[in-house]
Structure 1
Amino acid sequence: MSQLIIGIPGSWKDQSDIITAVAEANTDKQSPRFLAIGGLIMDMHTNQTFGFEVYEHDSRLAQMFAYAGQGRFTDEELNKISEHKHTVYLVCGEPFASPNRENLDAARCLLELGRFLLDAGGFAVKVENSGIAHPADRWRHYADQNTTLAIYDAFVTMVGGDDFNYTCGMHALGMPDVSLTKDVPIEEAPALLNGFNQYQLLEAPSLSDGDLFATSLSTPLLKMTHCPYGYKEDDLLNNPYGRWHLELSETTHDNQTKYHERDEPLFMAMRSDDLELEATVEQARSSLPWFLAQFTSPYEYGYYLIKTHIQDGDESAYVWTGLVDIKDDCLIVALFEIPSKFANLKSGQKLSITIEEVYDWSIHRNGTLIGGFSQRLQREHVPENERRQYDLYSGTIAFTPIDEVLRSSESRPERNGDGL
């Protein structure tokens, strides 16, 4: 089985220089987070130990980072990498023999340790187990987020193969990868591949050969089969947990439910003075700065939605809108789902709202819901036997932990200069 390894080039003169740089990079000298001794680096907060190996200058390294970076690196960043003196390879021990979520904890620690080595003089990070490379600022962003999806973005990549498209790197997180038949158009592949992996990570489903997968009622049902990953056993890229291969199924979505092909969006009435609903508004508003930071980040993606209250004559309702822009103290949103009784509002119409007019926010990413506090509450009111169809109708099959969002929001620095 392969070990979990990341490589970080830097200007260090030798191993002794690296050990000194690690000691100096700790902000708390009395109680340091990381200590380097010999060929080991210890995380004093988690008691995890990582090996580190030091390699001399490699003239091919900048070219390898450029290829693995998939267009993420600037010429200036690549020139800096080409001038490196040594590369530190951080090594995590052997992964578990079977899928185990403790691998995710090790990857989380390695994400933070990689950021620490960047602070100690590193230039960039390359994940040897997936062949993906990140500029320093991108890796720091993922470490700052410290969420399950940030770890996924840091360690996993997509690959185009001759026979199928697939992901690489899920063994770093203790799970099988996924591959997808070429019968699915290439432009649809990323959402399905990422959606399946996020579903594995966040929902920990029990999967079996022949099970069906989809991210929504508008995507095809795919039949899954567990296969060997396909690389040599000792290859760092090999996933010892294998991969789930997705093929088009002859089965179609069940169209006998009330969630199939509705004429208008689904609205569920809930009392505005409901204590649980009031709690979701408080959670949404307290974490709103984090949501807005995600929207403006060059390293994040998804569909960004805001729930607000609209009025048209005597009619009013709480509706979801798409966030378009941030202007001074206002948010520019676009309507996309409107109750039929609203005669003077149109889909695509833009509105300017204030922070006080935000009642919830959500990010939809490949079938995964981030935030959406009231959406989760609404889902709890759906009967258990209807939830699968409800989730497919809403296009949400996985849910990020609320505590991750709230924790990231609490630890996030204040925004400056944008009026929000």
Structure 2
Amino acid sequence: MNDKLVICIPGQWKDRDKLKRSVQKKSRGEYVLAEDLLMDTKHNRAFEIRFQEHDAKLSEAFYYSERGMMNDKALHKLDKHTHVLCLMSYMGSLDSVQKIVPAVQLLLKSGGLAVKIENSGKAYTSEEWDRLTSEARVDQLLHTFVSYRQNEQYYYSCGMQMFGLPEAAISMDTDPDASMQVMSQFLYGLLTHVEDQGSGSQGFKIYGKTYASQLEPECFNEEEPYLHNPSGMYVLTEVV
């Protein structure tokens, strides 16, 4: 089981020293790249990094990501990357997600081309990332970091382990657009503690309908280390 939040950032850096100098310049010395760490000297924290060579399959991975909306121009740009930097930190809270956002923004300003969140499969161009995380509000982070998938029976979320919370799932019998709204609203409530939605004893209301939640110990990504959520998932059911 993976316990790290992992974000991959391809870039056009000649070598590690070039990236190191760019990071120091763009952050005005607040961030320092040293060995296998990116250190935030202002807030006294550090992130693990892996600096890797060109990956010939990278643009394909971005193309088949959960977003799947990168245009040909963006994918062609990714083909020209020289290295890939993987940024890692321990996950499990809203705070841990909020802290990694500025580090990602800095790496994009320092020559990064795009972002792929390994814990949910979502991918963005640098422009999309800046727009979506500009204020780092809870709703922005939820939308940016968490993806939604489906199997033969359920629509379900993927990525809530980054926040230390269970996933949400709802029957395929639900209208697809409505199901995403219900799940995102429920997960937003968990993140902001708007109401005790996790008790299962009381429902939550959205668009005039009431839904009950039942916590199940397992989620739908048990076999995928980066996607596995040890907190399980809430199955949401409309109360008729």
What is the TM-score with the length of structure 1 in the denominator?
0.54
4+ residue stretches of structure 1 with deviation over 4 A? none
Q: Deviations over 1:136-192 (max 9, x none)?
A: 111111332221112112211111222100111111122211111112122311111
- Deviation of 1:20 (Å): 2.2
- The DSSP-based 3-state class of the residue aligned with 1:232 is coil
Question: Match for 2:148: what amino acid?
Answer: M
Aligned mates of 1:148, 1:44 — CA distance in 2: 25
- Deviation of 1:21 (Å): 2.2
Question: Match for 1:58: what amino acid?
Answer: D
Equivalent residue, structure 2, for 1:213: 204
- The DSSP-based 3-state class of the residue aligned with 1:108 is helix
Q: CA RMSD in A?
A: 1.8
- Deviation of 1:37 (Å): 0.7
- Return 66-75 or 121-130, whichever deviates more: 66-75
* Contact 2:211/2:239 (8 A) holds in 1: yes
How many residue pairs get matched?
A: 237
Aligned mates of 1:150, 1:107 — CA distance in 2: 11
Q: Deviations over 1:205-228 (max 9, x none)?
A: 3322343232132x3x22211112
Equivalent residue, structure 2, for 1:168: 158
- The DSSP-based 3-state class of the residue aligned with 1:139 is helix
- The DSSP-based 3-state class of the residue aligned with 1:214 is strand
Aligned mates of 1:122, 1:169 — CA distance in 2: 23
Aligned mates of 2:64, 2:224 — CA distance in 1: 22
1:223 aligns with 2:186: no
1:248 aligns with 2:235: no
- Deviation of 1:12 (Å): 1.5
1:111 aligns with 2:82: no
1:154 aligns with 2:144: yes
- Identity between Structure 1 and Structure 2 (%): 26
Aligned mates of 1:152, 1:210 — CA distance in 2: 25
Aligned mates of 2:103, 2:164 — CA distance in 1: 19
- Deviation of 1:58 (Å): 1.4
Aligned mates of 1:17, 1:65 — CA distance in 2: 25
Equivalent residue, structure 1, for 2:188: 198
Aligned mates of 1:214, 1:64 — CA distance in 2: 38
Aligned mates of 1:116, 1:141 — CA distance in 2: 14
Equivalent residue, structure 2, for 1:333: none
- Deviation of 1:60 (Å): 1.4
Equivalent residue, structure 2, for 1:9: 10
- The DSSP-based 3-state class of the residue aligned with 1:144 is coil
Higher relative contact order (CA 8 A, sep 6+): 2
- Deviation of 1:91 (Å): 0.5
- Deviation of 1:200 (Å): 1.3
- The DSSP-based 3-state class of the residue aligned with 1:159 is strand
What is the TM-score with the length of structure 2 in the denominator?
0.91
* Contact 1:124/1:135 (8 A) holds in 2: yes
Aligned mates of 2:18, 2:220 — CA distance in 1: 40
* Contact 2:54/2:84 (8 A) holds in 1: yes
Aligned mates of 1:11, 1:52 — CA distance in 2: 17
Quick one: structure 1 residues 69 and 163, their matched pair in 2 at CA, closer, same or farther if it must change by over 3 Å?
Answer: closer
Unmatched runs of 5 consecutive residues or more in structure 2: none
- The DSSP-based 3-state class of the residue aligned with 1:205 is coil
Q: Deviations over 1:387-416 (max 9, x none)?
A: xxxxxxxxxxxxxxxxxxxxxxxxxxxxxx
- Deviation of 1:114 (Å): 0.8
* Contact 1:209/1:226 (8 A) holds in 2: yes
Quick one: structure 1 residues 229 and 121, their matched pair in 2 at CA, closer, same or farther if it must change by over 3 Å?
Answer: same
Aligned mates of 2:94, 2:42 — CA distance in 1: 16
* Contact 1:5/1:91 (8 A) holds in 2: yes
Aligned mates of 1:234, 1:42 — CA distance in 2: 29
Structure of larger gyration radius: 1
Quick one: structure 1 residues 87 and 70, their matched pair in 2 at CA, closer, same or farther if it must change by over 3 Å?
Answer: same
- The DSSP-based 3-state class of the residue aligned with 1:68 is coil
- Deviation of 1:233 (Å): 6.5
Q: Deviations over 1:329-362 (max 9, x none)?
A: xxxxxxxxxxxxxxxxxxxxxxxxxxxxxxxxxx
